[in-house]
Amino acid sequence: MISIEVQHVSKSYGKVKALQDVSFSVGKGEVFGLIGPDGAGKTSMFRILCTLLLPDSGTATVDGFDVVRQMKDIRKRVGYMPGRFSLYQDLTVEENLEFFATLFGTTIDAGYDSIKAIYQQIERFKNRKAGALSGGMKQKLALSCALVHQPSVLFLDEPTTGVDPVSRKEFWEMLSMLKERGITIVASTPYLDEVRQCERVAFLSEGKVMGIDRPEVILDRFKDIFNPPPIVSSVAVAQQQTEQVIEVEHLVKAFGTFHAVDDISFCVKRGEIFGFLGANGAGKTTAMHMLTGLNQPTSGTGIVAGFDIRTEHEQIKKHIGYMSQKFSLYEDLTVAENIRLFGGIYGMKDDEIASKTDRLLKQLKFEEHKNDLVGSLPLGWKQKLAFSVSIFHEPAIVFLDEPTGGVDPATRRQFWELIYDAASRGITVFVTTHYMDEAEYCDRISIMVDGKISAIGTPEELKRSLNQPDMDHVFTHLARKAKRSDN
């Protein structure tokens, strides 16, 4: 029995063809994947199927109802988790759930049985604001909100991007439980282990369906995109260095009685790629904020690029680069204007900015796009530009907070080539990531659990000492030991 039928659907935004003659079907109770690089058209397809967007041509039905003529019928039957959770950050857990229940003309009590197994995991935090939840908890709340009206079809647009590996595994265990109840699930994801959990997948690229088959068939057929060759390790480069550019001793950051960072000590060498890993809520971002001068420690010491994190945080900011998850680029400025702006912020001279801009545009192969607005660029392009801008002034250290979230493996590989190039020039790279294949690319790794550094060493040392086959198993082995009740 067919749950979703898409026939010859096209959608354009001006000159951009988001979807081109797309056709596929999804069986009732099937777990179906929509996969492909950023800008492939996945989100446009989700929005059409959820009746949030009208197709330019073609037809689509959900549970037998037409997405154009029978919108109200479809909206009663579908649940939707957009990529950037639809939660209201200033509302509590319970208030968010009440709001979504009201939208669908129901109540928490009426839909409780359908969300019980998931919602009970966070119900004790029902009075906490959504903005204060860890990534894994937000995920569970967003899924509860999407299920409270008991839909028959669930649409998930990259629901696990930015969430640690353990929380991702738990999320897919919840989806398996929903499948057993006969709910049809359509999901997009950049994680290959999640792609393999789908029964079938459709691979979209530039708005076209390139293939539909079992995951293993599609991943093998398009292995250049999904399984690019690994990058040669940079360990040899880092081992030649002896100068320490980050020195941390007994660093603590407390919020009342809660120790977000609880007595951590480590050093990082010049030119080293240092992976700073941990589950959501482990304390990584808090530690990074202290190292970058954005927050003051409660106790302990830290030296970054030769400056004291307690007394010289303004000097630190001038000698580091920083790339956050939400990029610092200005979307209404062009590529060239963004580069020029950040060069000026970093105190570079006009002639130096001009000459380095030309070299950077050539390196990124952006020469023909220098006058394009950043807001019009694909996510992978923005990421490469944001990284390049963050090291434009040749800082001693660049801090990268989950820089590759949500992009395909081939684009992530290109991004890591930029990281390796920066490290070869002596720039220290301090990086957090939830992709465990990227952890393998680091010279050394620390893994935080409950505010403490639980393990530190090269990927090979960690795998050997913990008797685990890969970094994914290393991370899971350590992260499952967490005792904090708010993750």
- pLDDT tens-digit map of 358-391: 999 998 889 889 999 998 887 778 888 999 999 9
The answer to whether residue 37 scores a pLDDT higher than 90 is no
Residue 408: per-residue pLDDT: 80
Residue 161: per-residue pLDDT: 81
Average pLDDT, the chain: 90
Q: Which of 5-19, 73-87, 230-244 is the most confident on average?
A: 5-19
Rounded Cα–Cα distance for residues 133 and 167 (Å): 13
Rounded Cα–Cα distance for residues 296 and 319 (Å): 18
Label residue 54 by pLDDT band (50, 70, 90). very high
The answer to whether residue 333 scores a pLDDT higher than 50 is yes
The answer to whether residue 41 scores a pLDDT higher than 80 is yes
As a whole number, mean pLDDT of residues 269-291 equals 91
**Category of 256 on φ-ψ map: left (φ > 0), alpha (ψ -120 to 50) or beta:** left
**Category of 325 on φ-ψ map: left (φ > 0), alpha (ψ -120 to 50) or beta:** alpha
For 347-385, give the DSSP string.
Answer: T--HHHHHHHHHHHHHHHT-GGGTTSBGGGS-HHHHHHH
The answer to whether residue 15 scores a pLDDT higher than 90 is no
Specify the residue for token string 């927050």. Answer: 295
Could you tell me the pTM of the whole model? 0.82
The answer to whether residue 120 scores a pLDDT higher than 60 is yes
Average the pLDDT over each of 169-178, 450-459, 477-486 and give the range with the smallest value: 477-486
Label residue 487 by pLDDT band (50, 70, 90). very low
Among residues 162, 237, 300, which one has the least CA distance to residue 428?
A: 237
As a whole number, mean pLDDT of residues 79-102 equals 89
Other residues' Cβ atoms within 10 Å of the Cβ of residue 80: 22
Order of all β-strands in the sheet with 320-323: 320-323, 397-401, 428-432, 273-278, 444-449, 452-457
Q: Please state, for a pLDDT cut of 90, what percent of the chain lies above it.
A: 69
The answer to whether residue 166 scores a pLDDT higher than 50 is yes
Residue 241: per-residue pLDDT: 63
Q: Please state, for a pLDDT cut of 70, what percent of the chain lies above it.
A: 96
Residue 84: per-residue pLDDT: 67
Question: Virtual CA dihedral for 46, 48, 51, 56, nearest 10 degrees?
Answer: 170
Amino acid at 301: T
Order of all β-strands in the sheet with 244-255: 258-269, 244-255, 299-304, 307-308
- pLDDT tens-digit map of 80-90: 998 766 789 99
As a whole number, mean pLDDT of residues 125-140 equals 87
